[in-house]
């Protein structure tokens, strides 16, 4: 491995030296008078690359007419590292901790040992800042219908005034399967409404596109969707309803059957819970109170269970608490519930389970799970922008390259033509 690193470094130095000589031959024109420029002197610049640090001799030119000083042709004014190195550093930082990413870079590439995890974090934040203000190219293929789902999760905070930070994530998906994700930390500089608008344009939103929003019932997330252009009421996703029903079913299945009265009551409760699921799935949220009322009528059979078992909370008490929570949830969210069975048969989306997976990938795997760390609001938001770009495939060739190859056979102008 060490010999391979030395070989790569030597090859790159030779190639860069040859490219520098070719670059010095190209004479720029004066920006002031348009006259011919002549060689003035050379300046050395150090540039960090994937295969080690290289030193290039860049020429400076002086105009023979007005005496103005010009730099090399197509050379960036400020450049200390190659964009390929910047992208790889940010990509690894998005997938693993900064210390681990630094170790991987030092192990695989001939990068100087002066690179620390703090330097890597600083470079990652700089690229995240660029991605935050980077315009998104609109899609050339218009979309007839787009589904937008938004959800929120929390990470540990190192801010003095709060223990946790709210992270809002989501995705936009067309009927053809084209999908883009987005995310931001609540209270950060990234505007989530603008971010959603960019993602909608990138998947082909037009004036005739039908937008359908999904949320978990949070009023703040609904207001974000309305501000993003969702004209119709956002739909309450089926995933959160199903999770509450699953808890109710599990609790009902654990009820005691030690007496005939309790066996009959349990059979009624299990039947009504299944019927409750069917009614909510088929858009009959108003009839859900009928099943809830029938369950309450037979709950008296378990009144003495609390005094019989003192070592743990009885299942009847858990069922009663889950039933009250579901009743309040349905009363508050009934306006946003639809006929989920009809949408499912039509091949339309009925929930944000895919957004739950997005939150797990974008936030939890890197910032929560097995990561005993706390985040600043700015650091978490900028890293989230990079993770979204990696997932969307916009961080590779689509990320702006600061260099133009001197001996490129297909320059950008020719490719555009």
Q: What is the pLDDT of residues 283-317, one digit of tens each?
A: 888 888 899 999 999 988 887 775 555 557 778 88
Instruction: Name 56's bridge partners.
Output: 45
In a domain, 371, yes or no: yes
Last residue of a domain, one of 74, 100, 132: 132
246 and 332 housed in the same domain: yes
Give 341's pLDDT tier (boundaries 50, 70, 90). Answer: very high
In a domain, 304, yes or no: yes
In a domain, 259, yes or no: yes
Over residues 79-83, the mean pLDDT reads 77
149 and 228 housed in the same domain: yes
CA dist., res. 267 & res. 225, Å (int): 42
In a domain, 401, yes or no: no
Q: Which two tokens stand for residue 24?
A: 């010095």
> What domain range is 116 assigned to?
84-132
In a domain, 47, yes or no: no
302 and 256 housed in the same domain: yes
CA dist., res. 114 & res. 105, Å (int): 12
How many of the other CB atoms lie within 10 Å of CB of 276? 25
What are the strands, taking DSSP E only, across 202-349? 210-215, 235-236
215 and 249 housed in the same domain: no
Residues 236 and 257: beta-carbon distance below 8 Å: no
374 and 251 housed in the same domain: no
Residue 289's pLDDT is: 87
362 and 379 housed in the same domain: yes
* pLDDT at residue 400 tops 60: no
* pLDDT at residue 397 tops 60: no
Q: Check which CATH number belongs to the domain holding 202 and give it.
A: 3.30.420
Name the H helices within 133-218.
192-202
252 and 328 housed in the same domain: yes
Q: What is the pLDDT of residues 160-214, one digit of tens each?
A: 888 999 999 988 988 888 888 999 999 998 999 999 998 998 888 988 888 988 8
Residues 276 and 322: beta-carbon distance below 8 Å: no
CA dist., res. 179 & res. 200, Å (int): 10
Over residues 129-146, the mean pLDDT reads 83
Instruction: Name 57's bridge partners.
Output: 44
Residue 72's pLDDT is: 65
How many of the other CB atoms lie within 10 Å of CB of 22? 10
379 and 365 housed in the same domain: yes
Residues 125 and 118: beta-carbon distance below 8 Å: no
361 and 220 housed in the same domain: yes
Q: Which two tokens stand for residue 403?
A: 């260099």
pTM: 0.75
Residues 394 and 181: beta-carbon distance below 8 Å: no
In a domain, 411, yes or no: no
Residues 158 and 372: beta-carbon distance below 8 Å: no
* pLDDT at residue 76 tops 80: no
Query: Into how many domains does the chain fold?
Result: 3
246 and 232 housed in the same domain: no
Residue 399's pLDDT is: 46
105 and 168 housed in the same domain: no
In a domain, 39, yes or no: no
Nearest to 109, CA basis, from 263, 210, 6, 262: 6
310 and 260 housed in the same domain: yes
> Average per-residue pLDDT in the chain?
82
- Positive/negative CA dihedral, 248, 249, 253, 254: negative
In a domain, 48, yes or no: no
């Amino acid at each position: 491995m060490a010999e391979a690193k030395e070989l790569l470094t030597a090859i790159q130095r030779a190639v860069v030296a040859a490219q520098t000589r070719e670059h010095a031959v190209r004479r720029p024109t004066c920006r002031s008078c348009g006259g011919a420029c002549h060689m003035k002197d050379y300046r050395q610049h150090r540039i960090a690359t994937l295969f080690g640090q290289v030193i290039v001799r860049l020429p400076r030119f002086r105009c023979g007419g007005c005496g103005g000083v010009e730099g090399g042709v197509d050379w960036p004014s400020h450049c200390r590292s190659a964009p390929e190195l910047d992208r790889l550093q940010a990509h690894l930082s998005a997938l693993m901790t900064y210390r681990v990413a630094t170790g991987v870079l030092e192990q695989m590439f001939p990068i100087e040992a002066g690179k620390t995890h703090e330097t890597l974090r600083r470079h990652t934040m700089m690229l995240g800042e660029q991605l935050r203000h980077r315009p998104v190219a609109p899609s050339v293929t218009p979309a007839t219908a787009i589904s937008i789902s938004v959800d929120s999760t929390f990470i540990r905070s190192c801010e003095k005034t709060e223990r946790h930070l709210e992270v809002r994530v989501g995705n936009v998906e067309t009927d053809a399967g084209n999908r883009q994700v987005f995310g931001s930390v609540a209270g950060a500089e990234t505007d989530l409404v603008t971010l959603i608008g960019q993602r909608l344009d990138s998947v082909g939103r037009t004036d005739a596109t039908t937008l359908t929003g999904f949320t978990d019932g949070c009023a703040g997330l609904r207001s974000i969707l309305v501000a993003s252009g969702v004209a119709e009421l956002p739909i309450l996703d089926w995933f959160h309803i199903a999770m509450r029903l699953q808890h109710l079913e599990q609790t009902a299945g654990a009820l005691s059957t030690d007496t005939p009265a309790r066996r009959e009551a349990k059979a009624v409760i299990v039947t009504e819970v299944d019927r409750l699921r069917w009614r909510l799935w088929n858009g009959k949220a108003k009839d859900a109170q009928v099943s809830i009322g029938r369950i309450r009528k037979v709950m008296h059979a378990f009144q003495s269970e609390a005094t019989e078992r003192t070592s743990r909370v009885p299942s009847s008490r858990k069922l009663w608490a889950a039933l009250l929570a579901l009743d309040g949830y349905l009363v508050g969210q009934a306006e946003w519930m639809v006929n989920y069975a009809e949408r499912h048969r039509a091949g339309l989306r009925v929930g944000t389970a895919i957004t739950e997976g997005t939150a797990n990938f974008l936030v939890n795997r890197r910032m929560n799970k097995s990561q005993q760390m706390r985040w600043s609001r700015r650091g978490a938001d900028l890293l989230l922008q990079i993770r979204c770009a990696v997932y969307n495939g916009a961080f590779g060739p689509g990320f702006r390259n600061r260099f133009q190859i001197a001996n490129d056979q297909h320059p950008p102008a020719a490719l555009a033509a």
